[in-house]
Structure 1
Amino acid sequence: NDSTLIPRPETETLIEYILQKFGDQQNINLLDMGTGTGAIAIALANEKPQWNIAACDISPQAIQLAQQNSVNHQTNHITFIQSDWFNNIQTNDFDIIVSNPPYIAEDD
C-alpha cells in the first residue's frame, strides 16, 4: 500500500546470499532494519522457521503492513518493532543485521 515501497529486485539476491552463507546454521538471531513490507524477514522466516527474526521500521503504517503480510504468509514468529534504526531495539545480540533501504544513492 502507500505506506511502503515495492521491494526491489536486489531483495531476492540479498535473501539468496543470506541463505547461502548462513542457511546451515540453526540458531540465528537476525534483525531486518527498515523492513517496509516485511519481504526480507518474511522470506527468511519461511525458509528458516527456527531462526529468531526481528524486523523494525520507523513507520507505524509500515509495521502494520508487515505484520499483516506476516500473518498472510503464516510467519507469525517474527517480532516487529516500530523503531528509528536502533532507538527501540532492546538488544544488540544479532548474528545478522540486514537492510535494503531504497533511498541509498547508487554510488554509495
Structure 2
Amino acid sequence: MPVAGDRRWALLDSAGPMVTAWFRSRGVVATRFVAAFPELPGAGIWLCTATDEERDDLRRDTELVTAARDVLHQVGFSPLDLAETGVVVESQQTVDREYGGSWFHAMR
C-alpha cells in the first residue's frame, strides 16, 4: 500500500508502462513492483512474461538489471534507490501452475 509522502510510488506508477514497453519485444506483458517503503531504499521490479521460455531468456540477460534501473533513473529514482533495486522475472505459466494464477501469492 502506498505510503503518504513517499514519492517513489508516483515514480513507480510512471515507470511501470515504460518498463513494460522497453521489454515488450522480449515477451514482457506487465511490470509489477514491490517495496518502496520510506525507511528502505529501492524497489523490486517484477517483469511478467506469458511463457517460461520468455522468462528464461530474460533471466539469462546480463544487462537486464541495468536496463530496468535505467528506466527508473529516467523517472527520477535516486542513485541510492537504484543501487538497492532488484529485478525478478516470472511467467504467467509458472504463476498459473504453482500459485493458482495469483500474482499476489507469487510475489510474497
Q: TM-score, normalised by structure 2?
A: 0.33
Q: TM-score, normalised by structure 1?
A: 0.33
Query: Radius of gyration: which is bigger?
Result: 2
